[in-house]
């Protein structure tokens, strides 16, 4: 039930935050009281309650107090809110991608062990260090051409679709580096599976369209604009990928 005035204890009961936390937000200037009553007690209105709910939401998303003070200000401006949330979405996806990369490295190591190979621990350690340094949010500022933007917006109809492709690309690269380091033969079942995984990924994203393929190739030509971790990973993986794809296609020709 709405009230004309809320005191700190009321806000605490409604939000589940401690009185001390609410007072801290007040002291830091992110939640100012509407005024003081006749007993000089701070009181708040529905407006401040709404701001507190926003603060709680943002804090749960991982926003720092500095961001709350400098960027958010808990306003209702549509464009401002969308920009802020989009930035945080990219940040959270970066954290998710970092975790997913580690999961892929673990899965690859397990598969190698199951197949009788010794995982290349030094290489895997290097991969992990590089993954930890990757900030995928830089792709939001990548200087795509107008043509590339049009094509990629058509190919990737959602941000989730973009990250799915990114995950698939990196997962294959991690496998290629690991298989190469473990000495997996290019004509082995593991290598054949990896070649098919790469081919399926490319076919799925390009749909056999030469314009789409060329757009990806243009981005590939400018690896100096990539994250260093991404660039190092694909350059480490590329020779093995080329070898297994060559072996794969030669095997298909022999079968014919």
- For the chain, the structural domain boundaries read 8-72, 78-255
Sign of torsion, CA 208 212 215 216?
A: negative
Q: What is the pLDDT of residue 50?
A: 86
pTM over 0.75: no
Q: pLDDT tens digits for 116-175?
A: 999 999 888 888 887 776 677 777 778 899 999 999 999 998 878 888 898 899 999 999
Q: What percent of the chain is predicted at pLDDT more than 70?
A: 93
Q: What is the pLDDT of residue 107?
A: 94
- Nearest-angstrom CA–CA distance, 124 and 156: 30
Contacts of 91 (CB under 8 A, 6+ apart): 62, 137
Q: pLDDT tens digits for 56-67?
A: 888 888 888 887
Strand bridging mode 35-36 / 42-43: antiparallel
Is 60 exceeded by the pLDDT of residue 256?
no
Q: What is the pLDDT of residue 77?
A: 66
Q: What percent of the chain is predicted at pLDDT more than 90?
A: 46
Which of 10-19, 204-213, 247-256 has the weakest average pLDDT?
247-256
More confident residue, 121 or 251: 121
> Would you say domain 8-72 falls under CATH 1.10.3430.10?
no
Task: For the chain, state the CA radius of gyration.
Answer: 26
More confident residue, 239 or 225: 239
């Amino acid at each position: 039930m709405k009230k004309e005035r809320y005191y700190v204890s009321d806000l605490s009961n409604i939000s589940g935050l401690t009185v001390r936390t609410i007072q801290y937000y007040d002291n830091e200037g992110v939640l100012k009281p509407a005024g003081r009553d006749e007993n000089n007690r701070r009181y708040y209105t529905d407006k401040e309650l709404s701001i507190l709910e926003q603060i709680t939401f943002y804090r749960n998303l991982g926003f720092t107090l500095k961001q709350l003070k400098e960027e958010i200000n808990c306003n209702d401006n549509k464009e401002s809110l969308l920009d802020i949330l989009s930035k945080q979405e990219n940040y959270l996806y970066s954290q998710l991608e970092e975790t997913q990369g580690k999961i892929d490295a673990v899965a690859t190591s397990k598969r190698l062990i199951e197949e009788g190979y010794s995982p290349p621990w030094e290489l895997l350690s290097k991969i992990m260090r590089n993954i930890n340094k990757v900030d995928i949010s830089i792709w939001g500022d990548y200087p795509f051409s107008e043509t590339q933007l049009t094509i990629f917006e058509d190919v990737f109809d959602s941000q989730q679709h973009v990250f799915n492709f990114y995950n698939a690309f990196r997962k294959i690269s991690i496998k290629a580096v690991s298989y190469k380091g473990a000495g997996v033969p290019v004509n082995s079942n593991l290598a054949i599976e990896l070649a098919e995984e790469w081919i399926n990924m490319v076919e799925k994203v390009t749909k056999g369209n030469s314009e789409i393929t060329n757009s990806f190739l243009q981005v590939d030509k400018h690896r100096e604009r990539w994250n260093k971790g991404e660039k190092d990973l694909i350059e480490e993986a590329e020779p093995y990928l080329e070898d297994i794809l060559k072996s794969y296609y030669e095997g298909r020709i022999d079968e014919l």
